[in-house]
Amino acid sequence: MRLKSKVAIVTGAGQGIGAATARKFVRDGAVVVVCDMNRDAVSETVQACREAGGTAQGFNIDVSDRGAVDGMVAEVLGQYRRIDVLVNNAGITRDARLQKMTLQQFDDVIDVNLRGVFHATQAVVGAMAEQGSGVILNASSVVGIYGNYGQTNYAAAKFGVIGFTKTWSRELGPKGIRVNAVAPGFIDTPILSTVPDEVMARMREQVPLRRLGKPEEIASIYAFLASDEASYINGAVIEASGGMTL
């Protein structure tokens, strides 16, 4: 069990990649703190983790709310006395072309996908530095590397997350804290539920493997990066896109 007894916080863990990551982490022995804006989804993921034989607890929080994030971290530290892993997975989309995008759409995505990563990381890093170890894992995207039509806000946030990763790996590495990012391509999650069938078909055609990725495949990357097996990986951005950007 590669994550045995590690305490891991996973944001955006109510569905998709976050939920898969929470389930993977408990199977690998971690104590998992499930965070999400959707209260029912939090309960479902916590139940799934417990049914898998793991220890999990849930928090219904918005990562753009610094007070809520600080309160969650304080409660976790009060209970477990340490935090070993933070997976900054929470994210939303509010797509529109540049000329059509509203300030609210732009701000909503930046607040959750970028500012939320800052909030959660700053909230846990003191405890990690004090214990002399820790792992921060940030959810970027191929959109953050290559851009994408209609996603000015999302691309900016995911590119910013890569900047966080590179900077924090330099700042925090000497303190025993590793920081890495994962940049998924097209993953079969609820975020794609409104995409028309013909668009989904074109998306698959862009991938040499001719399929979308599975949340569990990204979760496995997070589990590896969180483990001691990845002890010399720091400041990396791992693209997991099935080769779509070749």
**Catalytic site positions:** 154
Q: Phi and psi at residue 238, in whole multiples of 5°?
A: -100, 115
Please, are residues 59 and 39 in contact by the beta-carbon 8 Å criterion?
A: no
Please, are residues 123 and 198 in contact by the beta-carbon 8 Å criterion?
A: no
